[in-house]
A and B are shown apart, each in its own frame.
Chain A
Amino acid sequence: MKEKAIHVVLMLLAFSAIAALAVITAFIFKEGVPIIAKVGIKDFIFSSDWYPLEGQFGIFPMIVGSLAVTAGAMVLGVVLGLACAVVLTQFCPQGMVAVIKPSVELLAGIPSVVYGFLGVVILVPLIRDYLGGPGLSVLASSIVLGVMALPTITSISVDAFQAVPRSYREGSIALGATEWQTTHRVILKAARSGIVAAIILGMGRAIGETMAVIMVAGNTLDVPHSLLDPVRTLTSNIALEMGYSAGDHRQALFATGVILFVIIMILNSIALTVSRRRVRKGAAR
């Protein structure tokens, strides 16, 4: 009897995560969808006119901005993140792993406002003085976000590399391949789906980051034409104007959240499907 009760209580608690997800989705959509319906989904997404006090809500530049900044971040994040993962799993003596792994994890723990602040204090002046433009730019945001997304990419790739059976590596080395050939042709290939999942989750991290981006992106309403142009992202649009908004304007910011939410959910689902396929493939072996 007591066992039965405990079972039920635990089950109910276990559903809290999915319940929270449902409530969050419901509330964000409830606040945001009416204005999308009013403006029209096509105008909301493809119009570049964001004049909230005049009732014009078009978030095209922010969608482009978010994508541009994320793409830039991925260039840096994937290169550095994968390199760290490769070194950690393939080339690194055990003693060094104990130093490098916690360090990369620490990078994930540093508050995003600190990243943003350092971006403003160090990166932005460098870009303004040596490359031109206002300094607040796609480039600055990409660098900051790349570093921030790196730990996600590293830790998930490390898992993927470790999931590759040892025999693959041993076999390849036995056939006379060098360590690098093994890594490059065998391990990377075998861990491919895990790496894809890592990159997609890293993208999610970059596209959802807010405070650091507000500080270094410049937040213009224009579609960026070069790496040195400032941009506004979906997240910074919400955080910049949320405190001030009322009525339709506030709903439009929630609607911006809806678009962001949908993008993130698509990325999550892709990552989950990809990594699940890996599990199934792994089990079949």
Chain B
Amino acid sequence: MRIPPAVTQRAAVGLMWALTILTLGVLLFIIAFILANGLPHVTWTFLSTSPESMGRAGGVLPMIVGSLWVAGLAVLISAPVGVATAVYLTEYTREGRLTAVIRFGADCLAGIPSIIFGLFGFVFFTITLGLGFSILSGALTLAIMVLPTIIRTSEEAIRAVPKSYRDVSYGLGSTRWQLVTRVVLRSALPGISTGVVLSVGRSISETAAVMLTAGSALGFPHSVFQSSRTLALHFYVLSREGLSMPNAYATASILIIAILLINLSAYALMRRFVAKVV
């Protein structure tokens, strides 16, 4: 017996939609569950004080600062290198064996699991370079981890800059470097920023790599050579040691809100970029 195509069409489309809605439902559930349990405990005091008795009481200020340090420093190191790579790939060379090798490197780096970055950061930065468990070790490790994201988004953004811009600029007699800095990078800036913002998000939510490099000290970080526990790791410790579920949920809420804001601004930047270029 043959089922009429119109029926399979209906059934299949229905099924696809059902699965998509299920996926969105999972997302909504995760956000709602964490926020419902955590938001009531996110108070100004919680945000602005240090933890007491291992996090059973008190707030998460040192972890917020630690997270910002680690993520900010990581992106600060990674962004110039990543953008330079993208500029080189798009403006300074032709597609060939060289670009293939560089792209291969970036693609492979993108696939490496965070625990491997953690192991590497641990032997290389923490032990071999003698940086110890510190914000700097963590940031350097994360900088390598987010590098492929920055390269890829910057490259896409630069490629999206219309050829006519370049032709005009060359026509006016500018050098290649002038073209890159004055025309290409300026038009591609929102697109590049998207990648940078997403990398900040990735750095903030990372746990495994940070645990092995930045350590887990509870104190307020005064220098990049000090160890600092990030928010994500603090959440892990709080929930695993069963120290305080309200504080764990509250910490998770801060993380979720941060990620929401980061993704929203990345999205807004992207829209602006697309609107501008196209």
Partners in one complex: yes
A201 at the interface (CB under 8 A from B): yes
Specify the chain B residue showing the minimal Cβ separation from A11.
B88
Q: Which stretch from B49-57, B111-119, B165-173 is at the chain A interface? A: B111-119
Cβ–Cβ contact B211 & A239, under 8 A? yes
A150 at the interface (CB under 8 A from B): yes
CA distance A113 to B104 in the complex (A): 30
Q: What sequence of 0s and 1s flags, for each residue 66-105 of chain A, a beta carbon within 8 Å of any chain B beta carbon?
A: 0000000000000110011011100100000000101111
Interface residues on A, range: 35 or more
A residues less than 8 Å from B84 (CB atoms): 9-10, 13-14
CA distance A52 to B203 in the complex (A): 33
Q: Which stretch from A36-44, A54-62, A126-134, A206-214 is at the chain B interface? A: A206-214
Output the least CB separation between B138 and chain A (Å).
15
A284 at the interface (CB under 8 A from B): no
Cβ–Cβ contact B23 & A80, under 8 A? yes
Give the contacting residue for B252; candidates A18, A117, A209; CB below 8 A.
Answer: A117
B89 at the interface (CB under 8 A from A): yes
Specify the chain A residue showing the minimal Cβ separation from B13.
A91
Cβ–Cβ contact A210 & B27, under 8 A? no
CA distance A2 to B13 in the complex (A): 59
CA distance A208 to B208 in the complex (A): 11
Specify the chain B residue showing the minimal Cβ separation from A204.
B111
B residues less than 8 Å from A215 (CB atoms): 240
A175 at the interface (CB under 8 A from B): no
A145 at the interface (CB under 8 A from B): no
A18 and B104 in contact, given A87-B20, A204-B111 (Cβ under 8 angstroms):
yes
B226 at the interface (CB under 8 A from A): no
CA distance A109 to B88 in the complex (A): 29
Cβ–Cβ contact B105 & A11, under 8 A? no
Cβ–Cβ contact B23 & A24, under 8 A? no
Q: What sequence of 0s and 1s flags, for each residue 102-129 of chain A, a beta carbon within 8 Å of any chain B beta carbon?
A: 1111110111111111101010000000
Tell me which residues from 1 to 49 in chain A have a Cβ below 8 Å from any Cβ of chain B. 2-3, 6-7, 9-11, 13-21, 23-24, 27-28, 31
B22 at the interface (CB under 8 A from A): yes
Tell me which residues from 168 to 198 in chain A have a Cβ below 8 Å from any Cβ of chain B. 177-181, 183-184
Specify the chain B residue showing the minimal Cβ separation from A236.
B115
A28 and B30 in contact, given A80-B22, A111-B255 (Cβ under 8 angstroms):
no
Specify the chain B residue showing the minimal Cβ separation from A10.
B88
CA distance A31 to B116 in the complex (A): 12
B5 at the interface (CB under 8 A from A): yes
Specify the chain A residue showing the minimal Cβ separation from B264.
A102
Cβ–Cβ contact B236 & A87, under 8 A? no
Tell me which residues from 1 to 49 in chain B have a Cβ below 8 Å from any Cβ of chain A. 5-6, 8-9, 12-13, 15-17, 19-20, 22-24, 26-27, 30, 33-34
A residues less than 8 Å from B235 (CB atoms): 111, 113-114, 117
B147 at the interface (CB under 8 A from A): yes
Cβ–Cβ contact A17 & B148, under 8 A? yes
A106 and B259 in contact, given A31-B123, A208-B114, A257-B116 (Cβ under 8 angstroms):
yes
Cβ–Cβ contact A6 & B19, under 8 A? no
Interface residues on B, range: 35 or more
Cβ–Cβ contact A28 & B104, under 8 A? no
Cβ–Cβ contact A14 & B102, under 8 A? yes
B residues less than 8 Å from A122 (CB atoms): 33
B267 at the interface (CB under 8 A from A): yes
A106 and B19 in contact, given A178-B8, A179-B9, A238-B115 (Cβ under 8 angstroms):
no
B151 at the interface (CB under 8 A from A): yes
B residues less than 8 Å from A91 (CB atoms): 13, 16-17
A residues less than 8 Å from B128 (CB atoms): 27
Output the least CB separation between B95 and chain A (Å).
11
B residues less than 8 Å from A15 (CB atoms): 102, 105
A residues less than 8 Å from B87 (CB atoms): 10
B120 at the interface (CB under 8 A from A): yes
A164 at the interface (CB under 8 A from B): no
Residues of chain B touching chain A, judged by Cβ–Cβ distance below 8 Å, are: 5-6, 8-9, 12-13, 15-17, 19-20, 22-24, 26-27, 30, 33-34, 80-81, 84-85, 87-89, 92-93, 101-102, 104-109, 111-120, 122-124, 128, 144, 147-148, 151, 175-177, 198, 201-202, 204-208, 211-212, 232-233, 235-236, 239-240, 248, 252, 255-256, 259-260, 262-264, 267
* Further pairs besides A9-B84, A210-B115: 12, Cβ < 8 Å: A13-B80, A28-B116, A79-B19, A114-B34, A178-B5, A184-B12, A207-B113, A211-B208, A242-B122, A254-B119, A260-B115, A271-B111
Residues of chain A touching chain B, judged by Cβ–Cβ distance below 8 Å, are: 2-3, 6-7, 9-11, 13-21, 23-24, 27-28, 31, 79-80, 83-84, 86-88, 91, 100, 102-107, 109-118, 120, 122, 147, 150, 177-181, 183-184, 201, 204, 207-211, 215, 235, 238-239, 242, 253-254, 257, 260-261, 264-265, 267-268, 271-272
The 8 A-B residue pairs whose C-beta atoms are closest, nearest first, are A208-B113, A18-B105, A111-B205, A83-B19, A13-B84, A178-B9, A14-B88, A10-B88
Q: List 27 A-B contacts (CB under 8 A).
A: A3-B176, A10-B92, A14-B84, A14-B85, A14-B88, A14-B102, A18-B104, A20-B144, A20-B147, A80-B22, A91-B16, A102-B264, A114-B255, A116-B236, A118-B34, A178-B9, A180-B5, A183-B12, A208-B111, A209-B113, A210-B113, A235-B113, A239-B115, A242-B122, A257-B119, A265-B111, A272-B107
